[in-house]
Amino acid sequence: MYKLDDQKPRRKLWIKSSNIPKAKLGWTLDDCVDTHPDDVDQIRGWISWLDQGVNVRASGSNTCGKGLMIAGKPGRGKSTVAAAIIQDIMRLSPPSAFDTEDGLTLIRPCYFTTFNDVIALQGQMMDSPTDWDEVLYYGILGEAHDSYNIRVLVIDDIGKEHASLSGWQSSVLHHVLRTRFNYGLPTIVTTNVALGDWASMYGDATASFVKEAFMYLPMVTEKGDLRE
């Protein structure tokens, strides 16, 4: 665990603005002791891509925009791991990982949200958006002023909405993931939907796309459901 007050001012501000669930604030990958060591090694390898500049806006590279899909049954610690990943990034990644096109200070390098919150935000954009809604929404997509564009986005709990899933919601998911990928901005998703089931849930186009856009990590734990 780390202490927020011990971080350098800019990194402390980044963490405070990243919407990390309060119960997960202070977590690092080292604290995810129930996650299989091989999974942690793969995650650290993915973080090293970001640190080396080979997935964030890496023009001309097949790793450009490559995200991380953490899949598994409920209670396997996926959300905790995702929160720990972006906290490690904000604390430890080199400043070059957060460069902006015009040299200004990056406001929010990482952000944690749920798929249901993304759907709600997109709906708000169609209704009566506030200035804050617009900054956040276009920052998620990577279409805001560059200092507001989120470099690494966590979308938690994809698949949890399956009982009420509509075609519009599937379209929102595809749009957000595709737009970020096209701009070279990696996304971390956590999901209880196995890769082979994405076509039946979200359509053939999205199922094909995620195979290109994500490193797939099926997460298991020796203890099974960690919530029991």
- Give the start-to-end residue ranges of the domains of the chain: 9-28+35-165+179-195+209-218
Rounded distance between C-alpha atoms, residue 27 and residue 24, angstroms: 6
The tokens for 118 are 């993304």
Is the confidence at residue 156, as pLDDT, over 90?
yes
> Are 113 and 156 a contacting pair, CB within 8 Å?
yes
> Closest Cα to residue 217, out of 29, 2, 57?
29
> Are 149 and 56 a contacting pair, CB within 8 Å?
no
> Closest Cα to residue 11, out of 137, 110, 142?
110
pTM of the predicted protein model: 0.92
Paired strand residues for 69: 189, 216
Confidence band for 227, pLDDT divided at 50, 70 and 90? low
Residue-wise pLDDT tens digits, 168-224: 788 888 999 999 999 999 999 999 999 999 998 888 999 999 999 999 999 876 665
pLDDT of residue 226: 53
Paired strand residues for 216: 69
Specify the CATH architecture of the domain 9-28+35-165+179-195+209-218. 3-Layer(aba) Sandwich (3.40)
> Are 122 and 113 a contacting pair, CB within 8 Å?
no
Q: What is the pLDDT of the chain when averaged over all its residues?
A: 90
Rounded distance between C-alpha atoms, residue 56 and residue 47, angstroms: 11
Q: How far is CA 124 from the centre of its chain?
A: 21
Is the confidence at residue 166, as pLDDT, over 80?
no
